[in-house]
Every structure is written in C-alpha cells, then in structure tokens.
Amino acid sequence: MSDSFRALRLNKTDDGQSHEIVDITEDALMDGDVSVAVSHSTLNYKDGLALTGAVPVVRTWPMIPGIDFVGTVERSDHADYQAGDSVILNGWGVGEGHFGGYAQKARVNGDWLVKRPEAISPARAMAIGTAGYTAMLCVMAIEPDTPTDAGEVLVTGAAGGVGSVAVALLAKLGYQVVASTGRSEEADYLTGLGASRIIDRAELSEQGRPLDKEKWAAVVDAVGSHTLANAISQTRYGGTVAACGLAQGPDLPASVMPFILRGVTLRGVDSVMAPKPLREQAWARLATDLDFAKLDAMTSTASMSDLPELGQKILAGQTRGRIVIDVNA
C-alpha cells in the first residue's frame, strides 16, 4: 500500500490562486499530536470563500482547505485520544492556517477534536458539519429566554446549511418556525424540514425602520447586514437574536432602540473558537435533538473533484442544505 494520499491543494499565484488534486505523504502535513484517517468532510460558506479566494480567509500557502472533517485516529500523543477513536474537527482555523479536511489524512492538535457521538454516523457528522453545529449553538443561545410557546421564531437564510439545520432543530423542539429565503422554489423543502410558513427575504433585506412592529419571539440569523438589522427591529420585547453569519454583509445598519426600548438581546455565536465543553454539549444535543430523516433529506454527497465548482455555487446561493464530501470517492 502506498504511503501517499490524495488532497485538494490551493496554491498562491500572481493573479490569485489555483487548485489541484495532488498525491502527498504525511511528511507534508503540518505539526500536530493526533493523526487521523479522514473519511468525510463537508462544504460550508467559509469553505466557498477559501476555494474561490473571494475573501482572503486562507492565511498560509499552499493550503489544504476544509474547515471540518471526521475520521479515525491512527496515531496519538494526546491524552484524550488513542488509535481507533472516531473524532470530529470543526473550526480552529483549520483550512485557513492549518491543513484541513479536504484530504484523506490530517494531523492536528488534539485539543481541537471532539469524539464523535455514537448515535451520529461519520457521514451524518459531516452532513451536520460546522453549519449544523453552528445552528445548534444558535438554538442553545436563544433557548434560555424563549419558551416554545413564546411565538414565531425567525430563521434567515433558511435554505442554506445553517438555516436548514436550524429549522429542523427548532421544529423538533416544538417551536413555530418562520423561514426566510430568496428562493420561492424551496418552500416545499423548508416546509418538509418543519417550517410553519415561508417569507420572502426581500421583506428583510432592504433598509428598514429602526424600531418596527413586533413579530419574532427569537431569531436565528446567518445573513447579517440589513436582514439582521430588520430582524432585530422586529423582535418582540425581551426576545433574543442569535447572529452567526454575514452572507449579505458584515455591516449592521441598526439602531440601539430595540435594545433600550424592548430589552432585545443580540447574542453573537462563534463556532470557530468555541471552548471544548460547549462543543461537546452541542454535539451531544445534535445526537438527540436533530431529526436524522430530515438531515438526510437536506444532504447530498460529492467528491473532492467537485469542490471548486461547489465553492462557486455556495457563494452564489445555488446550493441547498448540506453537502458531504467523501474524500475517498
């Protein structure tokens, strides 16, 4: 058996960047105390940014992108892991400054890993991926102040990765979910995930009032910019807004009025550097609170060779749900 394995590598060029599928050996991997045989990765919005170079998220060149992976430990010098353990990695700058998941092997810092819950298969772990794990963190952020009978919960970017999982999670937990999307053709898909009704994202995506009519008991927002500002201005008294994305933009053209007149809480959700106990809690919740039939319905599978095209599509809003990357296909 050859010691080499396949990886997708990004290279810096004079006019931007290039990509290629290459055969490399473990000697080419970066330092770490755990070596993993990767079975699956996934595609997130940040992966699209890295694959296309649309935003300079890659900090080290050349780079193996992929901010997630699941696989089996082959060697470990870390106290928490031994050969044979099934592990998940999300974030920690992997795929940006440290070689990531678009390869058949990885070597990383064991502190970045969590053990895969037995109830979640490797493929489903990457169907969840950073997007689904972020959605769980958002749900956990709004839960303390949002009983299930509080009223409608808005999910923006609902047909995307974070949004799709958020809709499914909230619906299973008993919330009344309103899904915002710019793709009317996805209405049946979102209803199937558990959305009680669908609204056009155009209702939220333009400049609105600093304090609008109260509508939402809580909000999960993956979009940012005017969409987030309008969602905040429409949140009910004492409601919580969980913000985790910037698909529309990083700006927040809002006022303080919802915060000081309605007691609205804006909670930022970071999945990249979240501490290990919070990660483990989120993955444990995903094992029990996510309807796997709905997860399967939102998931498709692709190979590493498909990634450059998929990176373009996810940035253009042309993907739906979650895409698992089988690195051995």
Burial of residue 196 (CB within 10 Å: 0-12, 13-18, 19+) is middle
- Average confidence (pLDDT) over 178-190: 95
% of residues, the chain, pLDDT over 90: 98
CB 271 within 8 A of CB 133: yes
Q: Give the integer Cα–Cα distance in Å for 43 and 20.
A: 17
Q: Give the integer Cα–Cα distance in Å for 240 and 88.
A: 29
pLDDT in tens, 103-141: 999 999 999 999 999 999 999 999 999 999 999 999 999
CB 278 within 8 A of CB 137: yes
Q: Give the integer Cα–Cα distance in Å for 217 and 142.
A: 9
Confidence band (pLDDT; 50, 70, 90) for 316? very high
pLDDT over threshold 90, residue 3: no
> Who's near 249: CB < 8 A, 6+ residues apart?
224, 225, 226
The first and second tokens of residue 240, run together, are: 């919580």
pLDDT in tens, 79-112: 999 999 999 999 999 999 999 999 999 999 999 9
Q: Roughly what angle, to the nearest 10 degrees, separates helices 161-173 and 122-142?
A: 70
- Average confidence (pLDDT) over 165-185: 97
pLDDT in tens, 234-267: 999 999 999 999 999 999 999 999 999 999 999 9
Q: Roughly what angle, to the nearest 10 degrees, separates helices 307-315 and 45-52?
A: 120
Q: Which fold has domain 5-116+298-326?
A: Quinone Oxidoreductase; Chain A, domain 1 (3.90.180)
Which top CATH class is 130-268? alpha beta
The partner residues of 40 in beta bridges, in order of sequence, read: 70, 326
pLDDT over threshold 70, residue 2: no
Give the chain's radius of gyration (CA, Å).
20
Bond into 62 cis (ω within 30): yes
pLDDT over threshold 80, residue 29: yes
- Average confidence (pLDDT) over 274-301: 97
pLDDT, mean over the chain: 97
Q: What pairing do the DSSP bridges indicate for beta strands 105-108 and 34-42?
A: antiparallel
pLDDT (0 to 100) of residue 1: 39
Phi first, then psi, for residue 271 (nearest 5°) are -95, -20
pTM of the model: 0.95
Task: Parse the chain into domains and list their residue ranges.
Answer: 5-116+298-326, 130-268
